[in-house]
Structure 1
Amino acid sequence: MSIAAVAHRHVFGYKGDVNNSIAYLDEQTVIYPVGHNSVLYNTESKLQKFIPVTEKCEAITAMAVSVNKRYIAIAERGEKPLCALYDLHTLRRRKTLSTMETESKDFVCIAFSADAKYILTQTGAPDWMLYYWSWEKAKVMASVKTANLQADRNAALGRAGDAAASANIGSIATLASGLGGGRDGFGSVVYQVSFNPSDNTQLCVIGNGIFKLFRYQEGMLKLFSVQKLEPKNYLSHCWAADDRIIAGTEDGKIMIFEANGELRAELTHSYGPSATPRCISTLLAYSKGFICGGSHGSIAIYDRNEDAPGGPLVAGQQPGSKDMYRKVKELTMHDDNAKVTNMALSPSEDNLVATTETNQLFALMLAGTEVKGEESRFEMFSQPFHHGQITGCDTCIRKPLVVTCSTDRSVRVWNYLDSTSELVKYFPEEAFSVAIHPSGLYILVGFSDKLRLMNLLIDDIRTFREFTIRGCRECRFSNGGQYFAAVHGNTIQIYSTWNFENLGNLKGHNGKVRSLFWTQDDSRIVSAGMDGAIYDWALRDLTGSGGSGIKREGESILKSCNYTCAIATADGRSIFAVGSDKTLKVRKSRSSILMDTLKWLTPTSPLSNRNFSGRMMFVGTANGTIRSMKYPLTNEPGEFQEHQAHSAPITKLRVSFDDQYLFSTSEDGALYVFKISDKEGRGLKRDREIVYADEILVTKTDLEEKNSTMAELKTRVEELKMENEYQLRLKDMNFNEKIKEVTEKFMQEIEALKITTTVLRTDKEKEEVRHEEELGEERERHTRELSELETVHNAKLMAEYERYQELQGRTTELQAQWERQMREMQAAKEKALSELTAHFEARVREKQAEIDQLQSELHNQYLEFTETTKETEQDADTEILEIKHRYEKKLKEEREIGLRLKGENGIMRKKFNTLNSEIDAHKTEIGKMFNEEKKLHGVIKSLEKDIAGLKKEIQERDETIQDKEKRIYDLKKKNQELEKFKFVLDYKIKELKRQIEPREQDIQGMTHQIKEMDVELEHYHKANSNLELTIADLKLKLRAAEKEVAKEHARVKAFAATVKRFKVDLNECVQYIQEPKLLKTHIKNLYQKYCLVAEPNATTSSSSAAVQPSSSITDVQQEYARQREHLERTVASLRRKVTKDQNIHRADNVRIMGENVALIKEINQLRRDLKGTRAREKAAEIALKHTKLVEAESRSHTPNPGTEGVSSNSLRLPSVTSPSPSPPALPRLEQQALPA
C-alpha cells in the first residue's frame, strides 16, 4: 500500500481574470497564472516551473513582480484577503501579508515600490481599503479608504439575492480592464494602484470615477488636491520616465497628468483606417514612450516628442497632445474581437507579450523592426488555449496524444511529450464529449445533432462517418479499439469501429448516463448515471444479432446520489464511484452493497484508477485540487496527498497507457499534465520500452495535390535559378563595363588633379611671399596707431579722475542728508508705537472684563446643571425599581409557561418521530419529483424563450400599429387641408385656362416646329456618322499603305546590309590575292554564301548574280513611287470632302442654334405676360373683395331676406379664392416648355 507521487510537468492554459497577470523575469522567462499555480515558462527550452498557492486559497486575484525581478507577490481570495510573497530564485515563500481589519475577501490589485521594500494592497468590496506595507516586517505602515463605501453597500444590498453572489462580489474589480464594476451599479470600483518609480511616498489610485494621488507623510496617507475634471471610468495607468502619469479611460481617452495631478495633455486612442476610438484597458511604459492596449485587439505604440513644450496647462488652454506623444505604430493581433487585458515587455524591450480576455497569449518581437515601417503581427506566445469549460478529455496508446473538447466550440489535440498543440479545429456548434482511438488516428466527437467519427489528418480533423445520436455527453473507445460505446440519453449504444454496425443497446438507466468505463479485456462496461444507478454489463458475444450476448450482471442503486464517475479494476470485480453525496463508494465481489470510505470529498469529483497497473488512484475535487489516494483502499478513511491544480471544478481525469502521466481538465479551460512516480520520486517501472508511432493519415486527394504543388514549385525553382543565373551574367557584364568606364574616368581626373595641384602649389608659394610683405607693413602701421591711442587715453583718464573727485563730494553730502532723515523717521515711529500700545492695552482690559463676566455665567450654569443631574438620577432610580418589579413578575409568568411547554415538548417529540418516518417516505417521492422537475424546467425554459419571443413580436407589432395609426391620422388631417386647397386651385385653374388656351395653341405650333427641326438635325447626324465611317475606312487603307511602305523600307535596308556584308567579305578575300589556293577557297565560300542561298539551282557566274539585285532594286523604287503618288491623291481628295462636310454641318448647327434662341426668347416673353396676368388677377380679386365688403356693410342697415343668401355667398367667395403662393399647374407648364 503506497501513495503515488505526482509532479507538475506542463500546463496548457491561462487564467485571464487576474490583475497584472503577466510579466517578464528575464529575456527568456515569462510568469503568468494558470488555475491555482503561477507558471514560469522558458521560451527557449519550453520548460515550466510552478509556484502553487496556499491551501485555503479560493482563487488568484492579482499579481505583481518587483522591478529588480527578485520577488513576486500573489494575491489570493479566501476567508480573509492574503498576499503571499515568493523569492523567484528559490521559488520559496518569503512572507505572507494578511489583515483582519477588512470585510473584503480579496485584494483586487497589488504593486511593488521601485526599491522592492514596500508594497501596496487594495481590497475589494465592500470597504475598498488601500494598505501601505513594509513587507519584510509584515507591518502596515498606513491605510486609507479609496472608494465610496456607502455607495458600494447600497449597490450590493440592491443586488443581493443569495449568499454566494455576495461572497463573490470582491472579484468584480480583479480585471484591470474594468469588466463589470462601476458600470453595473456597484458604485466606485478601484482597478489599479501604483508607486511613483522615483518616489516611494507618492501613490496613484484609479478606478470608475476615481483618480487619486496620495502622499505618505507622518504615518498617514494624505490625499492630494488635484485638478477637478469630468468623472471618467479610468481603467489603467502607468508612470512615464519623466514622472508623468498616463491614464486610459473606457471612452478611449489618454489623459497625461503631471506628478501633482494637473492635466498636461489629452489625446484619443483611435485605431485602424476608420480612426475609431477604442476602449483603453491596459497601458505599459517603456523608454521611448508607452504602449496602449484596448478593445478589439487594438495595440498602438506612442513615442515621446522631445521638442514638446513643458509646463502644465493654464486656465482656458486646451490640452495639446500632438506635441507630447505621437503614434508611431499600430500592431495587429490574430484575435481582432478580443480585448487586450495585460501586456509585458522584456528587460531589453525587444519582445512584447499581450494577453486577451479569451485567455490567449500573443508575442511580438520588436527588435530589428522599423517602428514606422513594416507591418507587424502578433504570433501565438506558446500554444492556443481553450477559453471555455473543457467538457471532454481522452488519451490513446500508440501516440503521445491527448484530445480535449470545450464550450468554445473547438476540439484540440495535444502532444504531452513535446508540450505542443498538434491540431485545433473549430466547429459551428459545441462539442459535448470526445474520445480518441487507441491508435491515435481517429476520434469520436458528440454534438447536439449527431455523433461524428473523424480522421486525424496531418493538418485537419475531417469527418468520416456520422451516427444519429443526439446530444452525446459521453463516449469511449474500447481498449482494443474494435468497439466504441456512446450515450444516447439513458441508453448506451455499442458500435463496431470497422463496419459501424450497432452491436447492441444497453438499457436500464432511468436518468442520463454520466460515465462509461471499459475493463481491460473489453469484456465488461461499467456505467453510472444521474438516476443513482451503477450497472455492470457483461459483453460475452457482440458478433451475434440483436445484442443477445449482452447481460447486466451487477447493479447498485442509490437514488439519493447522482453519480458523476465510476471505474473498475482490471478484473472488473471492484467498482469505485463518486457522486453528489461527497463520498467515495466501492463495490467488491460484484455485490450490490456500497460502503462509504472517504467522507471529505467534494461533489462532482472525477475519479481515475487506470486499469493497466491497478496500483494507484487519483481523485479530482470541486475546488480544483487533485488527490493521490493510498491504494488499495481500506474501510477506514485513507491517507492522501493533495496537489494544487485548477481554480474550478475538475471535469475529467485520465492516465496514460504506461501509467507515466496524469491528465486533468477543468471548467477553467486548463489542461494539466502531471508526471507520476513512486513514493521516493522515481518513475514507475515499465515492463518494456514503448515506441510511439509517428504515422499520420493523409487522403489521396491531399497527397496528389501536394505532389503536384511540389512538382510545380520545383519547376518554378529551376526556372528561377536559370533566370537568376542569366540576370547575374548580365549584371556582371554591365558592372564590368561600368567599372572600366569609371576607372578610365577616374584616371583622367587623377591626371587633371595632378596638374591642378602643381599649379596651385606654385600659386601658394607666390601668395605666401606676398602675405609676408603685407604682414610687415601692417605691423608698422599698428605700432604707430598704438602710440597715438595711448596718448588719447591718458588725456581721457585725467578727465575721468577729476569727475570722480567731484562725484565723491556729492556722495558725502547725500549720506549726511539720508542719516538726518532716518533719525526723523525713527522718532515718528516710536511715537506711533506708543500710541498703538496704549490703544491695544485699553482693548485688552475690556476683553478681560468680558472674560470675567463669562466665567461667572459659566459657574452659574454649572450649578444649575449639577442640580438638574441630581434630579434626573433620582427619577431614574425610581423608574428602575418599577421596571425591576415588573420584570420579576414577568419572569415568574415565563417560568410557568416554560413548565407548560416542557409537557408540550414531549408530545411534539412523539409527533416529530412520526414526521421523520413520513419524511423518509417522502424522500423517495422527492427523488422522483426531482427528475420530473428537471424535465419540467427544460420545458419551462423552452416555453419562456417562446414567450419572450412572442412578447417581443407583440411589442414590435403594437409599435408598428401605433406608427400606422399616427400616420393615418396625419394623412387624414393633411387630406382635409389638401381638399380645401384643391377647391381654391380648381377655381384658379379654370380662370387661368381661359387665359392660357390661346398661348397653348402657339406653344403647340412651336413644339411641332421644334420636332421637325429635331428630325432634320437627326438626319444631319446620320450623314455625319456615314462620313466618319468613310474617313475611318480611308484611314485603315492609309495605314495598310504605310505598312507596305515600311515593309519596302525594311527590304531595302536588308538589301543594303547584304551588300555591305558582301563588301566586307570581299575585302577579306582580297587579302589572299597572293595565295591562289586560299583565294579560290574564299571565293567559293563567298559564292555559296551569297549566290547559292538566293538561287539554289542557278549556275550563272558571279558577275550575272550581281546584276540581278540591281535591277530588282530599280523595280522596287518605281513601285514605291507609284503607290505613294496614288495614296497622296486619295488623301488630298478625302481631306477636301471632309472639309466641305464640316462646313455644311457647321452652317446647319448655326441655323438651328439661332432658331432655338428665338424660341427661348418667345417662351420668356410668354412667361412675363403670364406673370403680369397673375398680378392683374390678384389686384382684381382684392378690389372685388373690397367692393363686396362695402356692399355688405351698406346692406346690413337695410336687411333684405332675398339678398341675404347672396351676400353671404359673396362673402365666402374671397376666402375660397384667397391668394396662395403659386398654383401647382403652372410649374408643370414651365417644366414642359423648358426642354424646347
Structure 2
Amino acid sequence: MSSVLSQSDFIFGLRTAVRNNLCFLDEQTVVYPSGASCVSHNIVQRCQRFISVSEKSQGICALALSPSRRYLAVSERAEKASITVFDLHHEQGRKRKPLTAGETSVQEFVCMAFSPDSKYLIGQTGGPEWMLIFWFWEKNKVLATVKTTTSNNLVPQISFNPHNNMQLCVSGAGVLKLLRYSEGVLKQSSIAKMESDNLLCHAWTSEDRVLVGTDTGRLLVSESGDLRRELRVTCKGVGGHTDRQVKVKWIKETDANECVAPSRITAILSYSKGFLCTTGPGTVCLFEKTQKDSYRMSREILIPSDPCSLSCPAESQKIDTMCISPAEETLAISTDRGQLYSISLSSVLTNKVLEGKQHFEFLSQPFHSSSITGLSICIRKPLVATSSLDCSVRIWNYETKELELYKEFQEEAYSVALHPTGLFILVGFSDKLRLMNLVIDDIRSFKEFTLCGCRECAFSHGGHMFAAVNGNIIHVYSFITLENILNLKGHNGKVRSIEWSLDDSRLVSCGMDGAVYEWDTRTGKRQSESVLKPCSYTGVAFSSDYKTILAVGTDFTLKEIQDCQVLREVPADEVAHTTLAVSHSGCVIFTGTSSGTIRAIKYPLPTQREWTTHHAHCGPVTKMVITYDDQFLLTVSEDGCLLISKIIDKEGRGLKSNRQIVQTEEILVTKADLDDKKQHILDLKMRLEELHMENEYQLRLKDMNYKEKLKELSDTLTQEIESLKTTQKVMKTKLEKSEHENQENSAEVAMKYAKKLKALEVSYTSKLMVEHEKYQDLLQKHDRMQEEYEKQLKAAEESKTQALEELIQMYELKLQEKTQLLAQFQEETKQKFCEFSEMIKQAEEDEERKIHAIQIKYEEKLHLEKETHTNLKGKSGMMTQKLYSLQRQIDDRCADINKLKHEQQSLLGLVHSLESDIEDLKRQISGHKRTSQDKDNTISDLKKKTQNLEKLKFLLEFQLNDLQKQNEPQQADINKKRERIDQVGKKAFYMQW
C-alpha cells in the first residue's frame, strides 16, 4: 500500500438531482452534496469539511437535516439501498448504523424527513414499491410501513407535522395524503382527490394547514387533509416583455378546469412571518401573513442575469431547493444547473421599496454545470484552468479557493492549456483552436487555428511551443511565431493524451488505436513505440526521471514502458483507469478511474495489487494534475466538480519538494484598456470636482435657508416665551388667592369636626358597657355546654373501642384463610413452571439440531458451487487464451489475403493496360492494309503475353478462392468457441451471485 495518499481539501461544484440538496447548519455553514461526498461549507471562512459516504454507494439520492441541526441523513443508491445518519457535532461526522428497508428489496430512497424532536425518521422508497418506512432511528427499529401509491407516480416530498411527531404528509403526482402513526400502524387520516395534478412540493404553515405547489403553477391550501382554497400566482407580459407580477386571489372552491399559470412551483418554504415559494424560473416570492387565514405577496427575489452567460440565461434556471438559516437571516437556493445563491432576508424585509426587485448573489462561486473536459496549471501562478461542455472556461486559484476569471462561449470547450507564465491560455473548441490572453477582467482571443474538435492541447515546459491534437494528428506550433513547425503522424485512431518532457525535446502520446509513441520534437520522428491493439489508451505520462513512460487504458492495467517494451503491469481489478499523474518527487502515481475514485500507487510499481483508494467523484475522472510543489492533486470529472486534494503521508504531513517556485502577480492589460482606465479616472476626477463644487454651492444655499428658518423660529419662540411669562404671572396671582381661601376653609372644618368627635366618644362609651355585660352572660353559657359535650365524647370513645376489637378478630380469621390459599397457588405455579421450562428446552434442542443439519447441507452446496465456479473460471481462462491465439491466426490470414488482393489488383491493372495497347494496335492495323511481318510478329507476341497473363490471373483467383475456403472452417470454429466462452462467462457470473 502506498505511504503517500490524497486527502480532500476543497471542492468546487454541486451535485444536482439530489432531493433537498442544500441545508443550513448554522448562520455561516451550509451542507450540500458534491462529488462523492457531502460538504460542510463555511461561507465566511471559506473552508470545507467532508462527510464521506459508504464505499459501495452508487450515488446520493436525498438529504435530510434534523430540526435540531445535529443529525444529517444521507440516502444512498445501491443494490440494497440504505440511509446513513451522521452526527454533525462530531468532528469527523460520526456515522450511525445504516437504516435499511429490512427484507424488502429497495434500490433507492427518493426523499426523507426527521420528526420535530429528531427521534424519528421517515423514508420514501422508489418505484415500483413506493413504500413509506417509519423508523425509531436511534435504535434502528422499523415501527411501520405503508404503500403510498399504487401507480408508478413519483413521490418527491414527505414531511412531519412540525407540531406533531406522529402526523405525516405525502405529496406527489396525483397524491396528497395525511398519515398518522398509532398503535404500530401508519393510518391514513385523509386523502384529497388530485388525479389531474402533479404535486411537486408542500410545506406546513400551521398545525392543520399545508401549502401545496403543482407543476401548473397552482398554489393550493389544504386544511386537515381537504383542499379548501387556492392561492393563485400568475405572470403577465406587458408590451412584449415579460414583467413578473404576482396576483394573489383566494378561491373558496378549487376548480381544476380554470386557466392556470404555466410556471412550475418547485419549492415552498415556511418561516415565522409567512412563507416563500418559487413562481417560475429564477423567481422566489415572499408572502407575509396578514390575518389568520390570508397572506399577501410582499417581495419578489430574482436570480440576476449574468453578462458572461451567452448560451443559457442565468435567470432561466429552475430552483430545486430553498433553505433558511436558523435565525432567519439568510435565504439560500440551489438550481438545476448546479449553482448556489443566497440573499440576506433582513435586508430584503427592511427595504421599503416594495416595487423594486431584489436579486440573489452567489453563495460561494459560480460552478460548472456540465462535464469538465480540460484541466491545466501553470508554474508562475497558483492558477488552474478548466474547460467544460457548458461552453465555459474558468480560471481558479487553488490557494485562495476563489474563482479568478470565467467566460462563456458559443461552442463547447473540449480542452485547455495554461501557458507557464499564467498570462495566456489555449482552448480547443468544437470549431477551432483559440489562443487567448488572460487580461485583468476578461479572456480575449488573439489568434485562431483551424483545428476542429481539438480534444488535447499542451504548452511545452519552456512555453515556446505548444501541441494540439486534431483527430489522429498532433500539430506542434511555435508560440513565438505562431507557425505550424511539425505534424506528428502515426496514430491510426484518435489521440487521447499527450505530455512534454522536462527539456521539451520529446513528446509522448497515446491513442485509441492502442499505440504509445515517443516523438522527437526537433525532427518529428518517432523515438520509440509500443502498440497493443486490444487496448484503447486514455492517459499517458512520463516518469519523474523522464526515462520511462506510464500509460493506462481500457485493459484494466497500469503499464510502465521503456524502449518499446512493457516493463511492469499493475492490474486494476474490475475498474478501468481513465487518467494518471506522476508526482515530481517520483514516489507516487495517482490514477483516476471510471467509478470516480482516485488511487495512489507507490513508485517503483509494486508486483502485487497495492494501492490506497480515495472516493472523490461520482462520475469518471476525466483529468488530473499535480502542482509543481507536490502539495496538491487537482482532479476533474464528468460530474462537473473540481476537487483540490492535499498530498500527504500517513502521518498527515505534506510532501517535501526540492523545487523553489517563484510566483508572480503580474497581469496583462492592453494599451487600449489602460487608456480607457486613465480616461475614466480623469472623467471621474472631473466629475468629482464638479460634484464637490455643486455640493459646496448646495451647502451654502442650505446654510442660508437654515439661517433664515432659524431666525424665524427664534422670533416665534421669543414671542411665545413672553406670552408664557405673562400667563405665568396671572396664574401665580390666582394660586396665592386660592391658597388663602383654602386656609380659612380648613380652620372652619377643623372646629366643626372636633365637636362631632366629642359627641361620638360619649355615645360609644355607653354602648361599650352594654356589650361587656352581654359577654359575661355568654361566657357562663359556654362553660355549661363544654361540660355536657365532654360527657358525650367519653361515651362515644367506649363504644368505638369495643367495635374496633370485633372487626380486628373478624379480619384476622379471613387473613389466615387467604394465606393458606396463596401457599397452595404458589406450589401449583412452581410445578407448572418446571413443566414449561422442560418443554421449551426440548423445543430449543430440536430447533438447534434442525438448524445444524440445514447449515451442514447448505455448506456442502456452497462448497460444491465454489468448486464448480473455480473450474469454470479456469476453463474460461483457457478458452480466452485459445480465442486470442485464433484471433492472431485470423489476423495473419487476413494480412495474407490483403497482400494477395493487392497483387491481383496490380496484375489486373497490367492486363487492362495491355488490352488497351492491343486495341490501339488493332486500330492501326485496320488503318493500314499493308503491314510488315515485324508488326505481325509483335502482335503475336503480345497475344501470347496476354494469354500468359490471363492464365496467371486465373491461377491467382484460384489461389484466392482456395485461401478463402481454408479460412471459412477456422472462422466457424472461432465463432463456436466465442459462443462457448460467452456461455461459460455467463455461468461463472451467475455462480458468483
Same fold judged by TM-score > 0.5?
yes
Query: Is 1:435–2:417 an aligned residue pair?
Result: yes
Contact 2:2 2:611 (8 Å CA) reproduced: no
Q: Tell me which residue corresponds to 1:660.
A: 631
**Structure 2 residue 159 is the aligned partner of structure 1 residue 189:** no
CA contact (8 A) 1:297 1:333 kept: yes
- Does residue 719 of structure 1 match 2:683? no
Contact kept? 1:520, 1:571, Cα under 8 Å: no
Q: 2:230 aligns with which of 252, 259, 266?
A: 266
Equivalent residue in structure 1 for 2:541, among 567, 571, 592? 567
The correspondence for 1:619, drawn from 578, 591, 599, is 591
Q: Equivalents in 1 of 2:559, 2:879: separation in Å?
A: 35
Alignment CA distance shift 1:209-1:371 (3 Å):
farther
TM-fit CA distance, 1:127 = 0.4
The 1:914–1:580 alpha-carbon spacing in structure 2 relative to 1, beyond 3 Å, is closer
Q: What secondary structure does 2:518 align onto?
A: strand
The answer to whether the Cα contact below 8 Å between 2:24 and 2:30 also exists between their aligned partners in 1 is: yes
Name the counterpart of 2:328: 349
Deviation at 1:916, TM superposition (A): 7.9
Gaps of 5+ in 1: 152-186, 309-323, 542-548, 777-909, 928-1236
Alignment partners' CA distance in 1, 2:217 and 2:716: 63
Shift of 1:679: 2.7
For the residues of structure 1 that align with 2:475 and 2:315, how far apart are their CA atoms? 42
More helix by share: 1
1-structure distance, mates of 2:69, 2:890: 63
One-letter amino acid of the counterpart of residue 326, structure 1: R
**1:264/1:523 CA distance change after superposition, 3 Å:** same
User: What amino acid maps onto 1:211 in structure 2?
Assistant: L
1:447-474 C-alpha deviation (Å, 9 max, x unpaired): 1221111000000100111112111110
Task: Name the counterpart of 2:199.
Answer: 234
Secondary structure of 2:699's match?
helix
Secondary structure in structure 1 of the residue aligned to 2:578:
coil
Contact 1:294 1:340 in 2 (8 A): no
Q: Percent identity?
A: 48
Answer whether contact 1:449 1:471 (CA < 8 A) is retained: yes
Provide the rounded CA distance (Å) in 2 between the counterparts of 1:685 and 1:413: 27
Residue 358 of structure 1 corresponds to 337
1:295 alignment partner in structure 2:
280
Equivalent residue, structure 1, for 2:675? 704
Is the 2:176–2:192 Cα contact (8 Å) retained in structure 1? no
Residue type at the aligned position of 2:106: S
String of CA shifts for 1:1133-1181, please: whole Å, max 9, x gaps: xxxxxxxxxxxxxxxxxxxxxxxxxxxxxxxxxxxxxxxxxxxxxxxxx
Partner of 1:586: helix, strand, or coil? strand
Tell whether 2:466 aligns with 1:484.
yes
Deviations 1:60-110 (A, max 9, x none): 110011111111111111111111111112121133212343333111001
Q: Equivalents in 2 of 1:925, 1:401: separation in Å?
A: 54
- Greater CA deviation, 658-667 or 287-296? 287-296
Question: Are the counterparts in 1 of residues 175 and 192 from structure 2 also a CA contact under 8 Å?
Answer: no
Cα deviations across residues 311-335 of structure 1 (Å, max 9, x unaligned)? xxxxxxxxxxxxx111111111122
SS of residue paired to 1:731: helix
Query: In the alignment, which residue of structure 2 is the partner of 1:143?
Result: 145
**Map of 1:552 onto structure 2:** 526
Matched, 1:256 2:221: yes
| 1:667-697: CA deviation from partner (whole Å, max 9, x where unpaired) | 0100000111223211112325533210000
Is the aligned partner of 1:326 residue 2:305? no
Separation of aligned partners in 2, 1:431 and 1:750 = 82
2:718 to 747, 751, 761: 747
CA contact (8 A) 1:269 1:280 kept: no
- The answer on whether the counterparts of 1:601 and 1:621 sit within 8 Å (CA) in structure 2 is no
- SS at the partner of 1:336? helix
For the residue of structure 2 that corresponds to 1:257, the secondary structure is strand
Q: 1:914 to 1:254 in 2, by over 3 A?
A: closer
* SS of equivalent residue, structure 1 residue 39: strand
Match of 2:315 among 316, 328, 336: 336
State the TM-score, normalizing by the size of structure 1: 0.57
- Please tell me whether residue 535 in structure 1 is matched to residue 517 in structure 2: yes
Q: Which amino acid aligns with 1:44?
A: V
Matches within 5 A, 1:339-418: 339-369=318-348, 370=350, 373=353, 374-418=356-400
Asked if the contact 1:328–1:372 (Cα under 8 Å) also holds between the matched residues in 2, the reply is no
1:25 maps to 25
1:577 aligns with 2:562: no
How many residues get paired? 732
2:668 and 2:728 mapped to 1: Cα distance? 81
Q: Secondary structure at the match of 2:565?
A: coil
Which residue number corresponds to residue 617 of structure 2? 646
Check if 1:592 corresponds to 2:565.
yes
| Partner SS for 1:749 | helix
Change (3 A) 1:273 1:194: closer
The CA distance in 1 between the partners of 2:284 and 2:893, in whole Å, is 60
Q: 1:652–1:268: structure 2 CA closer, same or farther, 3 Å change rule? A: same
Instruction: Give 2:130's aligned residue.
Output: 128
Counterpart contact for 1:22–1:31, Cα < 8 Å: yes
Shift of 1:357: 0.5
Q: Where does structure 2 lack aligned partners over 5 or more consecutive residues?
A: 236-242, 247-260, 305-313, 750-877, 896-993
Which structure is larger by alpha-carbon Rg, 1 or 2? 1
Q: CA deviation at 1:228?
A: 3.7
1-structure distance, mates of 2:3, 2:495: 31
**Shift in Å at residue 581 of structure 1?**
1.7
Correspondence 1:1193-1212 to 2 at 5 A: none
- Cα contact 1:2–1:630 (8 A) shared by 2: yes
Pair 587,915 (structure 1): closer, same or farther in 2 beyond 3 Å = closer
Residue 609 of structure 1 is matched in structure 2 by 582
Once residues 195 and 278 of structure 2 are traced to their aligned partners in structure 1, the CA distance between those partners, rounded to angstroms, is 23
Are the counterparts in 1 of residues 301 and 359 from structure 2 also a CA contact under 8 Å?
yes
Residue matched to 1:1138: none
1:1038 aligned residue: none
Contact 2:577/2:591 (CA < 8 Å) preserved in 1? no
CA contact (8 A) 2:380 2:420 kept: yes
Structure 1 pair 269–924 and aligned structure 2 pair: CA distance change class (3 A): farther
Alignment match of 1:731 (pick from 694, 697, 702): 702
Task: Confirm or deny that 1:636 pairs with 2:608.
Answer: yes
Q: CA RMSD in A?
A: 2.8
Cα separation, partners in 2 of 1:575 and 1:229, compared to 1, 3 Å = closer
- C-alpha distance in 2 between matches for 1:475 and 1:924: 37
Q: 1:83 to 1:926 in 2, by over 3 A?
A: farther
Distance 1:66 1:508, change over 3 A: same
CA distance in 1, matches of 2:559, 2:85: 40
User: 26-35 or 735-744: which moved more?
Assistant: 735-744
Instruction: Note the alpha carbon deviations across 1:601-624, whole angstroms, 9 max, x for none.
Output: 6225111114x3222210111111
Give the secondary structure class of the aligned counterpart of 2:573.
coil
Cα distance per residue 1:267-322 (max 9 Å; x no partner): 122344465552100111110111002431111001112254xxxxxxxxxxxxxx
8 Å CA contact 1:624–1:648 kept in 2: the answer is yes
Q: Distance in 1 between matches of 2:554 and 2:186?
A: 50
What do the CA deviations read for 1:537-592 (whole angstroms, capped 9, x no partner)?
123x3xxxxxxx2221211111111111011113432211111122212213x233
What is the aligned partner in structure 1 of residue 500 from structure 2? 518
Q: Is residue 172–residue 198 contact of structure 2 (8 Å, CA) maintained in 1? A: yes
Deviation at 1:703, TM superposition (A): 0.4
Specify the alignment match of 2:115 in structure 1: 113
Letter in 2 for 1:36: A
Q: Which residue of 2 aligns with 1:830?
A: none
2:186 aligns with one of 221, 227, 249: 221
CA distance in 1, matches of 2:300, 2:132: 36
For residues 472 and 661 of structure 1, what CA distance do their matches in structure 2 show? 27
Which residue in the other structure is 2:406 paired with? 424
Residue 664 of structure 2 corresponds to 693
Contact 1:583–1:601 (Cα < 8 Å) also in 2? no
Give the aligned residue type for 1:630. Answer: K
In 2, Cα distance between equivalents of 1:728 and 1:136: 70
Judged with a 3 Å threshold, the aligned counterparts in structure 2 of structure 1 residues 341 and 750 are, in CA distance, closer, same or farther, namely same
Whether the aligned pair in 1 keeps the contact of 2:159 and 2:169 (CA below 8 Å) is yes
Is the counterpart of residue 464 in structure 1 residue 446 in structure 2? yes
Q: Which amino acid aligns with 1:328?
A: S
* 1:229 to partner: Cα distance: 4.9
Instruction: Name the residue aligned to 2:308.
Output: none
